[in-house]
Amino acid sequence: MIPFTFFATARQDVSIAGHVIPAGWQVMGLTWQTSRDPKAFRDPTRFVPDRFAPGRDEGGGTPSAYVPQGGGPPDGHRCAGEALTQLLLTVLCARVCGHWRWTAPPQDFTLNMRLPPHLPRDRLRLTLERR
């Protein structure tokens, strides 16, 4: 997973939280930070599997609050590999869950924020056993 969604060039001066980004500067969208915005998501640092289930009011009413594959509708600006990624992740999950029993031994899951991508301090160690 890459913790940013796009690189672009600011077309005009933009002011964000009191900071000015001049026209012509290179910018990048960061999914890690935007996905943890408490204005958009209740308890943003907690893993909630059904956060985007029908009927839930997450995203603060903003349809592009969660943008791991790009913002907007499916025919809008999206990652070119989105459909392939979804297919490969489905196949991977089916294989891993169907053929392997996996457990996570005790470890430090605190994110190391020094360098992207932000990984758990113990790098997420897993024990796999064939079923």
Domain coordinates of the chain in residue numbers?
Answer: 1-77, 80-131
DSSP assignment letter at 98: H
Q: What tokens does 96 get? A: 């891993």
Helix (H) or strand (E) holding 89: helix 82-99
The predicted model scores a pTM of 0.43
Q: What tokens does 1 get? A: 């997973």
**pLDDT tens, position by position, for the chain (131 residues)?**
455 566 778 899 989 889 999 999 988 777 777 777 787 788 888 877 787 777 776 766 666 666 666 666 666 666 777 788 889 989 988 888 888 888 989 999 887 777 666 778 888 888 989 88
